[in-house]
Structure 1
Amino acid sequence: MAHHSPRLILFDVDGTLILSQGVAGRLMLKAVETVSGKSFDYDVRDFAGFTDRLIMRRLLQRAGVPDSELEEKLQQAERLYLQWIAERFRNPHFVKVLPGVRELLERLQTENGFYPGLLTGNIREGARIKLGSVGLWDYFPVGAFGDDAEDRNQLPPVALRRAREHYSIDFRPEDTWIIGDAPNDVRCARANRIRSLAVASGVIPAEELQAEGPDVLLPDLRNVEEVLRILKG
């Protein structure tokens, strides 16, 4: 029997579960450049923790796409991006599953009282392609994605609703954790009265994450027993 109330554990993807050497970000930039006809610099840190659609929208605006064409160009860029990552991730030799992730996900399946899900800025199909390439997608029966809302802070209510429907458990925000590697993960959790476990396994240094005031900060998820103790708390 679980000695704690049921816990909904919502994971970010890039920098939290996997690293893919910036491949997806470069393909997203290429898609935006292709549909806009403009080239510009891109620093992945500028958009860490943002949703895919918001990133593409801002890049298209930066490229000077007029508002009247923005939605059409956004859809075109999204289609190209998904097509290209599907092709690129078929041979996922460049994708690294981060330390502790597989063991933690296995333990969450076998330990009573834990219910995993995703909360990610990735478009759902993008998350499926990335995680599916390394055998992680099936660990997550529910989630909220970047095509559910462009504002990340609007995703937790979506994830909670889907988790309640799937697991038939009335999860509350206080029963929930968000695990992520970016300041926006911490802000999103705080805005929704959800606890945050920040991991410095992505592109954002630990001191920058600490400045956001997460409930817990770890270098990564490799100490699975410690992570489980935290999530039970």
Structure 2
Amino acid sequence: MTLPADGRAPMLVLFDIDGTLVHSAGVGRAAITSAMIDVYGTPGPIDELPFDGMTDPQIVRTLLRAAGFSDDRIDAGLDRLWTAYAAGLEDEIADRRARMRPAPGVPALLDALEETGATLGLVTGNIAAGAEGKLSAVGLWNRFPFGAFGCDDADRNALPPIALERAFRHTGTRYAPGRTWVVGDTPHDIACARASELPVLAVATGRFSVDHLRRAGANEALPSLGDTDRVMSVLACA
């Protein structure tokens, strides 16, 4: 299916990673746990914290504050933490690669979007090294020439404007808000899109149901990205 050849402005689609593009077999949680123990001596109450939609820096700070660390003490270890995390993630991916996979329908959807001339990018809470590792493991990293990452800003709501600016640098096009979609699987993805007045397609491929995502403010919510024609119809309606 193709989008209408009606002279409409180009489309930009910004994807979340975990739960939206990739099922990553827990590599990120395992790597951050090990890195936090190495650098800070504790991962904090990590088993009690859902990571869904949080940026990596937000996860770390939340856990360490809960464990009684001051912000100054947290900041002092962050450079070492991210180095340890990137190394640990490589090891975890090597161990679990066979269980990592693209989410249903993702490769076909990316193909369909590219055929229409849409530009693809990322808006993710992962730091850039984590995004590259997870997407490379399932053969998707090269599909996304730019993005905004957790290392750009710990506040997810600040990431869409960064991605829009990088889209302009990459393509020379200023994408209209109504032609820029955010695609994600959590209420945090919806909130970050809404903060920039962007339409958002939510998919119930993580912990949140279609009804939950609709109540959270998604323009549309679908069970998955598996029905390419249905997804493309939604994106064509902006």
Pairs within 5 Å for 1:136-215: 136-215=140-219
Q: CA deviation at 1:44?
A: 7.5
Q: Which ranges of 4 or more aligned residues in structure 1 deviate by more than 4 Å?
A: none
Alignment partners' CA distance in 2, 1:122 and 1:39: 17
Q: CA deviation at 1:176?
A: 0.5
Give the alignment partner of residue 223 of structure 2, picking from 213, 219, 223.
Answer: 219
Q: Which moved more, 1:206-215 or 1:12-21?
A: 206-215
Alignment partners' CA distance in 1, 2:12 and 2:48: 29
What's 2:20 paired with? 16
Alignment partners' CA distance in 2, 1:44 and 1:7: 39
Is the contact made by 1:32 and 1:59 (CA closer than 8 Å) also made in structure 2? no
Alignment partners' CA distance in 2, 1:45 and 1:223: 32
What's 1:129 paired with? 133
Please give the root-mean-square deviation of Cα atoms over the aligned residues, in Å: 1.7
TM-score scaled by length of structure 1: 0.93
Alignment partners' CA distance in 1, 2:146 and 2:43: 36
What's 1:118 paired with? 122
Secondary structure of the corresponding residue to residue 93 of structure 1: helix
Whether 2:110 is the aligned partner of 1:105: answer: yes
Is the contact made by 1:49 and 1:184 (CA closer than 8 Å) also made in structure 2? yes
Is the contact made by 1:56 and 1:77 (CA closer than 8 Å) also made in structure 2? no
Alignment partners' CA distance in 2, 1:219 and 1:44: 26
- What runs of 5+ residues in structure 2 fail to find an aligned partner? none
What's 1:48 paired with? 52
Q: CA deviation at 1:206?
A: 2.8
TM-score scaled by length of structure 2: 0.91
Is the contact made by 2:9 and 2:176 (CA closer than 8 Å) also made in structure 1? no
Alignment partners' CA distance in 2, 1:90 and 1:30: 15
Whether 2:235 is the aligned partner of 1:231: answer: yes
Q: Which moved more, 1:205-214 or 1:42-51?
A: 42-51
Alignment partners' CA distance in 2, 1:78 and 1:60: 15
Task: List per-residue Cα deviations over 1:176-208 (Å, max 9, x = no partner).
Answer: 000000100001111100000000001223332
CA separation of 1:45/1:18 partners in 2, compared to 1, >3 Å: closer, same or farther? Answer: farther
Identity %: 39
- What runs of 5+ residues in structure 1 fail to find an aligned partner? none
Q: Which moved more, 1:208-217 or 1:121-130?
A: 208-217
Give the alignment partner of residue 83 of structure 1, picking from 65, 84, 87.
Answer: 87
What's 1:72 paired with? 76
